Structure 1
Amino acid sequence: MSTHFDSYYYHRAEAELDQAQRSEHPAAVRAHYTLAGYYLDRFYGTQDEGISASLVPDRGEC
């Protein structure tokens, strides 16, 4: 079941992917794809894999 917070992470990932598609500089493209991956980690609940979960605010911090 999707919650408001889950939906937030999914929409943020989509926004980052859109930004990556529009970016021209390779470093910006890489940064947007990386952020999208972090948001998708949170959406799919893989908080225990690497540091990605610590870079996106916890649900209580939004």
Structure 2
Amino acid sequence: MPTCPVCGMDVDVTAPEETDYREESYAPATAEYDGESYAFCSEAHREAFGKNPEEYVD
């Protein structure tokens, strides 16, 4: 399971259609940086990552 690079929380990447939930809000926020895909626990953390990705990648 991937972890949010901003806070380290596990991110459930199961698509909503593969669960009992049908709401889009259960899908994680994602972003691409330097050829890598990242999953986030929230849209706010995706936005923080987008402002300064070097702060969050190894």
Would you tell me which structure has more strand in proportion to its own residues? Answer: 2
Q: More helix by proportion, 1 or 2?
A: 1
Structure 2-normalised TM-score?
0.31
